[in-house]
């Protein structure tokens, strides 16, 4: 599950998802349904159908503690996650936030350094910055 590289733990998408479900158990039922329907974890689909659906409304709600928890988790995973984890975060989660400029603007205050950097990169890629 975790690969060691010069003492640094690299987190795989399976560990990323497991930790996400531990921290945010409200998504457990959706995960079970996703696995039953797809027969395996499709991380872009799972996060696209769960966190991506909820995050814009959550950002608009201003629930500080919950938002900080989510964005702290994203920041940590961008730092420690393997390429697959980074792609799920960047191409699925952060790209979705950029679909709505006002949502992205509000989200920026919760983002750490790596998350802001990844968000800027994906926005530049899509020509939205």
Q: What is the DSSP letter of 103?
A: H
pTM for this model (two decimals): 0.89
Q: Tell me: the pLDDT tens digits for 14-55?
A: 999 999 999 999 999 999 999 999 999 999 999 999 999 999
Going by C-beta distance under 8 Å and a sequence separation of 6 or more, which residues neighbour residue 100? Answer: 56
Q: Tell me: the pLDDT tens digits for 105-128?
A: 999 999 999 999 999 999 999 998
Determine the straight-line distance between the first and last CA of the chain, rounded to whole angstroms.
36
Mean pLDDT of the chain: 93
């Amino acid at each position: 599950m975790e690969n060691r590289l010069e003492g640094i733990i690299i987190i795989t998408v399976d560990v990323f998802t497991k930790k996400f479900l531990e921290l945010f158990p409200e998504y457990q039922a959706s995960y079970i349904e996703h696995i039953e329907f797809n027969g395996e974890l499709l991380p872009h689909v799972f996060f696209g159908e769960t966190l991506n659906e909820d995050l814009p409304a959550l950002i608009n709600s201003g629930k500080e503690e919950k938002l900080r928890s989510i964005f702290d988790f994203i920041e940590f995973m961008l730092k420690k996650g393997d390429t697959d984890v980074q792609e799920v975060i960047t191409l699925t989660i952060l790209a979705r936030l950029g679909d709505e400029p006002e949502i992205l603007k509000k989200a920026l205050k919760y983002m750490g350094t790596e998350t802001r950097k990844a968000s800027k990169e994906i926005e530049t890629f899509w020509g939205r910055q």
